[in-house]
Amino acid sequence: MSATVIERGTAASRIAGIGVAAIILLLAIAPQFLSAGAVDRVTALFIYVILAAMWNALAGFGGLVSVGQQVFFGLGAYFAIRLANAGLNPFVSLFVSAIIVGAISWPISLFMLRLKNGEFAIGMWVIAALTHLLVNLDRLIQGETGTSLISLNVYDASTRRMTIYWLALASMTALLAILFGLLRGSTGAAIRAIRDNEDAAASVGVRVTGTKRLLFVLAAFGIGVAGALWLATSITFQPKTYFNVQWTAYMIFMVLVGGIGTFEGAILGALLFFLIETWFGGTGVWYLIGLGATALAFSLLLPRGLWGTLEERFGWRLLPVGYRVRLPINASDTTGASPAQATTSREKA
Amino acid sequence: MSLSVEDLVVRHGLLQAVRGVSFSVERGETLALVGANGAGKTTLLRAIAGAHQAASGRVVFDGADLSGVPSHERVRKGVALVPEGRRLFVQMTVEENLLLGRTAGRSGDWSVERVLETFPNLKPRRHAKAGHLSGGEQQATAIGRALMSNPELLLLDEVSLGLSPLVVDRVYASLHGLISSGTTIILVEQDLNRALSVSNKVICMLEGRVALAGDSRNVSRDEVTKAYFGLHRKGAGGVPA
Amino acid sequence: MMNQIVQGILLGGYYALIACGLSFMFSVMRIINLAHGSLAILSAFALWLLASRFHISPFLGLVIVLPLMAVIGWALQRFLLERSARGGALLPILTTFGLAIVIDNVLFEQFGADTRSLAPFIGSLSYDSWEWPGSIYVGKLAVIIFVAAVVLLGGLQLFLTHTGLGRSIRATSEDPDTAGLVGVDARRANTIAAAIAMVTVGLAGAFLGMRATFDPYAGATQLLFAFEAAVIGGAGSLWGTLIGGIVLALAQTLGATVHPQGFLIGGHVAFLIVLFIRLYTSGLGLRGLLGLAAGKAS
């Protein structure tokens, strides 16, 4: 009689772990070999990964689909402008701003998390629209005219570019690590239980609301970082650009295509989005139609996304966030359960 | 008209709730389904009504295979279920609930007036919201709603559950009228005496299978009770899954 | 002041029109259609195209556009919503959001960024007004829209309570499985409900185009208005939607008097206040807040 084996990683996942470290190292030294334009593009990619991972944390793991996440993107940029204007170092402002965004998201969560599904989705959109209007009232911002992160101009162009690049890389790595740690830790079990069946999770004592709130605040903070970094790369702040629902559309596209509810899927989705934008971004409106249509098609035909589908078919798992339970194949089956259950290795929270 | 169920298997996920059940009922017969909780009686009724799809086997009604036929089409063919727990539309009035039964458009004698004649306790409640009814009134509405589709086969799932004995008597009295009018009935009933007295055929289910089938007048209470608890199983020693 | 209140109430009629389709669809299918506003704009553009290219008056154009909207509703339900709703409650949000992006940008591709209006095609109706006692001037169009909203809501209410089809739709919204067991084709009921909802959206789009301007990306704002009016109106009958629309419009009017940019802010704030009160007094959470709006139509 063989014993049930519980393992956290696979051989592939251990190799993947080393691979991740190598990739981060490579990315850190990459600017030495890249043109200025390429450095800016890769910085954008890092920001996309943050956005995708954070929206995925909220929707894929917390079951909270929001179409108002642009509120945190816009606020991240707005508070950075405000802080820098008050005399704080512009680079420091970026992160203090994100902390403020995270703090603001807490009271918002008390309120919004009581809404369900579609009501939450549009409710967040109302919050974003209202915040946009309120930011417009700030005299510093001058309505839709906007303003700039002028204090960043004291640094010369190349220092600025490199610093932002490294900050974006560090932010992305840190946020992904936080999410990964969260999913692997005890909270992760709760998160996956909620993802699979919220009511059942609540009935066995999982702190559903507390866990969701944690994900909501993390996502707000992460998207705040992304908004502040975007401001740093583009210098100018126009409320209309930052509080645009298009940011959420991008997040949804990336996560839906990559694989909602999978850690790797969001990263894959961001990478694909980056490539599509690089190749087709110039086609303007058709590019946007394509994004919408692709998101629509994935939601109907491949709702698990690319990574989710591959993972399901081949049992892939590069960055294991759960446990794998391998049931002994020849265990005597007295309960009458289907034998199919015993032969597949299933991931259990 | 006749109903035959042939080697029917129904699954709930991985669980087999009904495991290869076969029987047939002829026009005007009344079949009582008895068995312990979880024996698969409700699932069997719901599968006949089309609320659950069968994993294998067939339900043949009036010579037509009902496999894959959605529940609303089955109502049109003359199969009506009074579901467990009544499942009334609580935000609609008694009359509206009854009128819904007519959606399938089968012609017949049943009308709102006739249902109210049959269940006089509903008369004053005609325009009350179904959610505000007493248990007995709800049950009468649920049966009336099924009758409004002028069914040839009426499936009754635990109609006496949660009702006082007096109300149950009244419900069963109305059933006698139906039976004499030639409606075929399959009923699930916990009360063995009632089940045997109202029916002419009885099937006792155990763990998703038929443990005993017979004529209600010829089987003894004792035999049914044994089958009920699994003491009666022929070829004892565990049937392979 | 009195004048502004009257204008606000009349504007509320428009909001009730745009909201009733959203809350109707939610109450029957439990889906919030994020493409709701974009579809209203689509209808407005279709009427604009008929008027500017073929000289068909917008009112006559409705004879063509409303049936088309019904077909769109039918197709939307059959090919998109039905399928995505099987994947859980979250998927339809993503599906309809994707659809909204497609519609908005296709409209932009076709018609460009210019703002349009149907006002030039309805003659003097766009500026004619009646003088009411107390020197209150009310636009004829605003009154027509308000009356249309009342007629539509009343008609919908009668349809839901007094016809077999209406009862089937209500039964499906309450419990689709049991509806099937009593002989209701839930799939058909949903499809008809979607078609009806889209006709109301088409009508709302027409009135939006007549009383104001629109552009390809105006759908999002209309969606938010519809959602806010539906939630404010909340529990009760379809008439709640009318109340919700009026409250929203009055809050916007009040906002505009406080601050030049306060129109939209006033509406959003009113929505959040109502939501806040509702959440903390009902204790039930918001599950089905919209659901009560049309489902309980008696």
pLDDT digits (tens, 9 = 90+) for A313-340: 877 666 666 555 555 444 333 333 333 3
The kind and range of the H/E element at B12 are strand B2-12
pLDDT category, B128, cuts 50, 70, 90? very high
Provide the β-strand partners of residue A326.
A5
Q: Which chain B residues have a beta carbon less than 8 Å from that of A337?
A: 14
Q: How far apart are CA A260 and CA A297, in angstroms?
A: 14
pLDDT band at B153 (very low <50, low <70, confident <90, very high): very high
pLDDT at B221: 80
CA gap A131, C268 in Å, rounded: 10
Q: Going along chain A, which residue ranges are E strands?
A: 5-7, 147-148, 236-237, 323-326, 346-348
Q: What does the domain layout of chain B look like in residue ranges?
A: 2-228
When mean pLDDT is compared over A185-189, C126-130, C242-246, the highest value belongs to: C242-246
What's the full length of chain A, in residues? 349
Neighbours of chain C (3+ CB pairs under 8 A): A, B
pLDDT tens digits, one per residue of B60-108 = 998 899 988 999 999 999 999 999 888 999 999 999 999 999 988 888 8
Task: Report yes or no: B4 and B24 within 8 Å, Cβ to Cβ.
Answer: yes
Contact between C290 and A299 using a beta-carbon 8 Å cutoff: no
Q: Do the Cβ atoms of C137 and C130 come closer than 8 Å? A: yes
pLDDT on residue A331: 37
**CA distance, residue C27 to nearest chain B CA (Å):** 13
Taking residues A141-167, report their average pLDDT.
Answer: 88
**C-beta atoms of B100 and C180 within 8 A:** no
Beta strands in B103-167 (DSSP E): 153-157
Q: Work out the percent of chain A whose per-residue pLDDT is above 70.
A: 87
Element (H, E) at B79: strand B79-82
User: Which residue of A lies nearest to B207 if distances are taken between CA atoms?
Assistant: A336
Residue, of A65 and A195, whose pLDDT is higher: A65
Q: Tell me which of C228 and B109 has the higher pLDDT.
A: C228
Residues of chain B contacting C180 with CB distance shorter than 8 Å:
50-51, 70-72
pLDDT in the model for residue A9: 65
Say whether B16 and A337 touch across the interface (CB within 8 A). Answer: no
Please state the rounded mean pLDDT for residues C15-32: 90
Asked if pLDDT for residue A342 goes beyond 60, the answer is no
Instruction: Find tokens 């691979």 and name the residue.
Output: A19
Work out the percent of chain C whose per-residue pLDDT is above 70.
93
**Residue A165 and residue A263 in contact, taking contact as beta carbons nearer than 8 Å:** no
What is the reported pLDDT for A153? 84
pLDDT tens digits for range C47-80: 999 999 999 999 999 999 999 999 999 999 999 9
The mean pLDDT of C146-162, rounded to a whole number, is 93
CB pairs under 8 A between B and C: 78
Task: Name the residue among B87, B99, B105 with its Cβ closest to that of C178.
Answer: B87
Q: How confident is the model at residue A2 (pLDDT cuts 50, 70, 90)?
A: low
CB of A338 within 8 Å of a chain B CB? The answer is yes
A283 touches chain B (CB under 8 A): no
| Burial classification of residue B195, based on how many CB atoms lie within 10 Å of its CB (0-12 exposed, 13-18 middle, 19 or more buried) | buried
Query: What pTM was estimated for this model as a whole?
Result: 0.87
State the average pLDDT over residues C230-256. Answer: 87
Please name the residue that has the structure tokens 């004698």: B109
Which residues make Cβ contacts (< 8 Å) with residue C75, sequence separation at least 6?
A: none
C177 vs B233, more confident = C177
The angle at the Cα of B171, spanning B165 to B172, to the nearest 5 degrees, equals 90
Concatenate the DSSP letters of all residues of A64-132 into one string. ---S-THHHHHHHHHHHHHHHHTT--HHHHHHHHHHHHHHHHHHHHHHHTTS-HHHHHHHHHHHHHHHH
Within 13-52 of B, beta carbons closer than 8 Å to A belong to 14, 16
Give the model confidence (pLDDT) of A257-312 as tens digits.
Answer: 999 988 999 999 999 999 999 888 888 889 999 999 999 999 999 988 998 888 87
Written as six digits, the tokens of C227 are 């959602």
Topology given in CATH for the domain delimited by A33-302: ABC transporter involved in vitamin B12 uptake, BtuC (1.10.3470)
Question: For chain B, what percent of residues have pLDDT higher than 90?
Answer: 46
A55 in helix, strand or coil? helix
In chain A, what residues touch C97 (CB-CB under 8 Å)?
67, 249, 252, 295
Predicted local confidence at residue A323, as pLDDT: 55
3-class DSSP state of C41: helix
| Alpha-carbon gap, residue C297 to B129, rounded angstroms | 12
In this prediction, residues A219-243 reach a mean pLDDT of: 95
Q: Which pLDDT value is given to residue A286? A: 92
Two tokens at C254? 């009040």
Kindly report, residue by residue over B180-192, the tens digit of the pLDDT. 888 899 999 888 8
- Split at pLDDT 50, 70, 90, the class of C237 is low
* Best C158, C159, C181 residue to mutate vs chain B (most B CBs within 10 Å): C181
pLDDT at C40 over 60: yes
Comparison of pLDDT for A207 and C296, the residue scoring more: A207
A227: pLDDT strictly greater than 50: yes
Beta bridge partners of B155: B81, B186
CB A311 within 8 A of CB A262: yes
Distance CA(C188)–CA(C197), nearest Å, equals: 14
| Locus of tokens 């910085």 | A43
Burial class of residue A73 (count of CB atoms within 10 Å of its CB; 0-12, 13-18, 19+): buried
Q: Pull the structure tokens for residue C236.
A: 């009760």
**Chain A contact probe: residue of B12, B14, B19, B209 with most A CBs at under 10 A:** B14
Per CATH, the number for B2-228 is 3.40.50.300
Instruction: Look at chain B and count its residues.
Output: 241
Backbone angles phi and psi of B214, in degrees to 5: -170, -175
Overall average pLDDT of the A43-72 stretch: 94
Q: Any idea what DSSP says for residue A57? A: I
- What is the percentage of chain A residues whose pLDDT exceeds 90? 55
